[in-house]
Amino acid sequence: MFLNEIKKLDCELKLDRPLSDFCTFRIGGRAKYIIVVYDNDTLLKVCHICILHHIKYKIIGLGANLLFSDKGYNGAIIITKAKKIYRKNTAIYVDSGTTIGELIQYCYQNDLSGLEAFSGIPSTLGGAIVNSLGAFDTNISDMVDYVICYKKDDIKKRLILNNTECKFRYRDSVFKSGDYIITRIKLTLKIDNKKDIYARQIEYLKRKYDSQPITLPSAGSIFKRGDIIPAKVIDDLGLKGYKIGGAAVSNKHAGFIVNLGNARSKDVKNIIQYIDNKVYKIYKTRLELEIEYVDD
């Protein structure tokens, strides 16, 4: 019954697929259902069907900040590719499945500035909002007017949360709980000329490529900054290149754990635990994860 209802919708349904195909870490067991949607109406319909049939579900974009369990996910992973964008003066209204790259290109074509620091970051706007994305002293939260969303357990009620209600903090927001379905975001940007916008994009891309291990699969920075800077501390402890199984601390940026080709979730988790114990032994503080672990 569940599958029949899903098949009636304008979406893609994939059965028993490896989650490693749907995240930037390229790690993870098999998901019972992968459902790809291309508009917000279908997204909400799929969620409603999951609720009716007691199918647990998780909504993702590019899977850029996730570590999936080796055991997979016995439910529905819903991938949103809803990508409508429209503009009113310096305000833009953007569907949550729009990638940061697509959004930056739209802004460039429309002489809008503000997002250049995020060039090269593999994320959807929805993911950026959930994780309160920041890069090079630029924060996505500073540009958010409001977020249109629905409670995951009550998708009949449409909510509009203003910036304050989103409770943005460093790499955190009210949406990090997983209790909300984000559909659209209103951002306010600034007018600038294409030449300067493009120059900043290239500058930030170069800085990213020079400092981060972009040629290997990863989930970005593993740990949040706190009383200490994790990358510096990990480097000082001589842990660059430390390896367990197919995963390793990046030799280029100690804040990243990379997949050398055959990494498993348990390899990453064991490295995280090893690093945390080493840091605690010397600095008497625990590291806080920036990535999200998704298990069954």
Residue 296 has what pLDDT? 78
Catalytic annotation present for 221: yes
The CA distance from 10 to 39, in Å, is 9
The CA distance from 180 to 201, in Å, is 31
Quick one: which of 222, 236, 241, 214 has its CA closest to 283? 236
Kind and range of the H or E element at 58?
Answer: strand 57-60
- Please give the model's pTM, rounded to 2 decimal places: 0.95
Q: Specify which residues 258 forms β-bridges with.
A: 218, 248
Give, to the nearest 10 degrees, the angle between helix 100-109 and helix 194-211: 150
Contacts of 295 (CB under 8 A, 6+ apart): 68, 69, 71, 73
Give SS3 for 91: strand
The CA distance from 218 to 26, in Å, is 8
Please, is 201 exposed, middle or buried when counting C-beta atoms within 10 Å of its C-beta (0-12, 13-18, 19+)? buried
Catalytic annotation present for 69: no
DSSP classification of residue 213: -
Domains and CATH numbers, the chain: 2-80 (3.30.43.10), 85-208 (3.30.465.10), 213-294 (3.90.78.10)
Question: Which of the residues 218, 250, 265, 290 is marked catalytic?
Answer: 290
Q: Which pLDDT tens digits describe the chain residue by residue (296 residues)? A: 999 999 999 999 999 999 999 999 999 999 999 999 999 999 999 999 999 999 999 999 999 999 999 999 999 999 999 999 999 999 999 999 999 999 999 999 999 999 999 999 999 999 999 999 999 999 999 999 999 999 998 898 999 999 999 999 999 999 999 999 999 999 999 999 999 999 999 999 999 999 999 999 999 999 999 889 999 999 999 999 999 999 999 999 999 999 999 999 999 999 999 999 999 999 999 999 999 999 97
Q: Specify which residues 13 forms β-bridges with.
A: 35
Catalytic annotation present for 265: no
Exposure string of 44-76, with b = 16+ CB inside 10 Å and e = fewer, is: bbbbebbeeeebebbbbbbbbbbbbbbebbebb
Question: Which of the residues 221, 250, 264, 265 is marked catalytic?
Answer: 221
> Contact, 275 vs 239, CB < 8 A?
yes
The CA distance from 102 to 4, in Å, is 33
Residue 154 has what pLDDT? 85
Question: Which of the residues 171, 184, 200, 264 is marked catalytic?
Answer: 171
The CA distance from 218 to 256, in Å, is 7
